[in-house]
Amino acid sequence: MNPIPRTFSTRDLQRQYRSIIDSAKQTKEAVVLINNSAPEAVLLDVETYNQLVQDDYAWDEAFVVKQVAQANKSSRVGKSKRLISWSDLDD
């Protein structure tokens, strides 16, 4: 899951309804709908919504696992620094 959600304007939703819905279903990620430069609604596919409502722990766990995998990948390619202790943040 991407930490920064995809956003579309409410006008985009009116004009590109099918492609936005298909994208949410395919990626299983939230889509934020913006109206007048402010978030108005969040769009989720039904499967993700049901998982979230029934067992939010499993959804949170999946999110954390993806974030850790992404952080490890960034570390392997040299885009980030692996911290050994909290004092490493001062460097």
CATH numbers and ranges of domains, the chain: 6-76 (3.40.1620.10)
The pLDDT of residue 66 is 85
Decide: 50 and 33 in contact? Cβ < 8 Å: no
SS3 state of residue 33: strand
pLDDT at residue number 19: 93
Q: pLDDT, tens digit, for every residue of 30-56? A: 899 999 988 999 999 998 888 777 876
Residues 6 or more apart whose Cβ sits within 8 Å of residue 4: none
Residue stretches of the chain with pLDDT short of 50: none
Half-sphere exposure of 51 (CA within 13 A, CB side): 14
Q: Quick one: pLDDT at residue 87?
A: 76
Quote the pLDDT of residue 18.
Answer: 94
Q: Is 82 exposed, middle or buried (0-12, 13-18, 19+ CB in 10 A)?
A: exposed
